[in-house]
Structure 1
Amino acid sequence: MKLQAVLFDLDGVITDTAEFHYLAWKQMAEPIGIEIDHAFNERLKGISRMESLERILAHGGKEQQYTMEQKQRLAADKNKHYVSLLTQLTPEHVYPGIPELLDQLAELQIPAVLTSASKNAPQILSALRLDERFHTIVDPDGMPGKPAPDIFLKGAGAVGADPAYCIGVEDAQAGVEAIKAAGMFAVGIGEKGLLCASGADIVFESTAKLNLTALLKAAKLD
């Protein structure tokens, strides 16, 4: 059985923009009387911008106080600040092991697919100088967010891959659940207990431990 594609999340797998997200959400939330901290920000990993906003509003007891138009404006304000912070990204912010893994996939002509909930993914990959290393960047617009499997299924379909012969790489519980719901082999990056509880087939404490040989062996693919 041949590996047909590897699908990657972005934040926490390719690089870390969680702090940028946190600062941008915090700046948006404070003027409307909501305080968030880093612990709460962990609950926003792997989910869409609007779902993150809904969780923040619920956290502050204000979920019924805004119209959809007002919510969209709040989300847009957050994203504007977040995008301004992305100018700080450079290739040095790519996680260890990722360039080498992408090289290994390219050598074997196995497509690398980006399956991130972030609508800013193309800009982030460009800043990291990885945009040409991915066969496809899946546009998450209009799709249900993780843990729904849609973005992974769309990514596999975009490169003509059978999900059963794909590997997904995620650092968030919702992302791992989405990979498994798509019928793929799930690789978790981070805390073993949490990610295994979400269904991860194998967990690496960091991307530095990732390599194609280990993935193929674990997934029992050639």
Structure 2
Amino acid sequence: MIKGFIFDLDGVITDTAESHYMAWKKLSDEMGWAFDHEVNDKLRGISRMDSIQVILDHNSATLDEAAMAQLAAKKNDIYVASLETMTPEDYLPGAKELLTHLRTEGFSVALGSASKNAIKVLEQLNAAAYFDVIGDGNSVSKSKPEPDIFLHGAERLNLQPDECIVFEDAESGIDAAKAGGFHSVGIGPKDRVGHADLRFDTMKEATLFEIKSYFKDLF
């Protein structure tokens, strides 16, 4: 039986993608690196250090780990500054409604985000009360596509993976959910999250009614 839900943050609860893009773009421009939306799409759902590596590989460039860490921190400073303009109006359409519905029906809810700024984002959205457990980039050492962040959330909720549904907008996130034995809902295009158990183009379509209808044997 489904007892818990675990949500990614960026691209599921709110859309910080453009803020991330602008921060990476500014850093890349300063370094003289090529960076565009196509490269940015490869960063979806992965850690800052892994993101730096993707950008380096795209530019056939190399840096030692200390220099990579310094640039990752600089990118984060740019990104965090942009979060100050985020408000409770910045939920993705349908996200707040689903979280409210889950609270009303008594489901356990965890956040499973690779972001180390997740708590700041939740504060800006005034969303912390919707989550029983907050798992972020500080919670585990291995990031997606490893399942550790979702396993952390399930464990903290005192649930087994097959009692939880994971919501993700990234290919690596769905891979992580599958690797951990979770049920999965993909948010986004088929070529990115079509391997999820259930897929919606947007969060607005991902109502609890639709989810229960699809996973009807588990409720």
TM-score range, shorter chain: over 0.9
Q: How does 1:87-166 map to 2 (within 5 A)?
A: 87-141=84-138, 142-166=140-164
SS in 2 for 1:40: helix
How well do the aligned residues superpose, as a CA RMSD in angstroms?
1.2
Code of the aligned partner of 1:174: S
After superposing the two structures, state which structure 1 stretch, 72-81 or 21-30, moved more. Answer: 21-30
Between the aligned partners of 1:20 and 1:100, the Cα distance in structure 2 is 24
In structure 1, what is the equivalent of residue 214 of structure 2? 218
Contact 2:171 2:193 in 1 (8 A): yes
Q: Does 1:180 align with 2:141?
A: no
Code of the aligned partner of 2:30: P
Between the aligned partners of 1:187 and 1:128, the Cα distance in structure 2 is 22
**63, 67, 71: which one pairs with 2:64?**
67
In structure 1, what is the equivalent of residue 198 of structure 2? 202
Q: How does 1:18-97 map to 2 (within 5 A)?
A: 18-63=17-62, 66-97=63-94
Code of the aligned partner of 1:30: D
Equivalenced residues, count: 217
Between the aligned partners of 1:186 and 1:118, the Cα distance in structure 2 is 20
Q: Under a length normalisation based on structure 1, what TM-score does the superposition of the two structures give?
A: 0.94
Q: Deviations over 1:83-135 (max 9, x none)?
A: 00111111111011111111111122211111010000000011011011111
Code of the aligned partner of 1:24: A
Contact 1:24 1:82 in 2 (8 A): yes
Between the aligned partners of 1:9 and 1:212, the Cα distance in structure 2 is 17
Q: Under a length normalisation based on structure 2, what TM-score does the superposition of the two structures give?
A: 0.95
Unaligned runs of 5+ in 1: none
Unaligned runs of 5+ in 2: none
Code of the aligned partner of 1:67: D
In structure 2, what is the equivalent of residue 168 of structure 1? 166
Identical positions, percent:
42
